[in-house]
Amino acid sequence: MNEAKLPVRFDTYDPEDFYDELFTQKGQPRPAVVPLMERISSLPPESPTTPAGSSADAL
Is the model's pTM score more than 0.85? no
Q: How far is CA 15 from CA 5, 23, 31, 44, in A?
A: 24, 8, 17, 25
Strand partners, 29: 23
Confidence at residue 31, expressed as pLDDT on a 0 to 100 scale: 93
Burial class (CB in 10 A: 0-12, 13-18, 19+), 54: middle
Beta-carbon neighbour count of residue 37 at 10 Å?
16
Confidence at residue 57, expressed as pLDDT on a 0 to 100 scale: 62
Q: Dump pLDDT digits (tens) for 4-52.
A: 555 567 778 888 888 999 888 777 889 999 998 888 878 776 655 555 5
Helix (H, G, I), strand (E, B) or coil at 10: coil
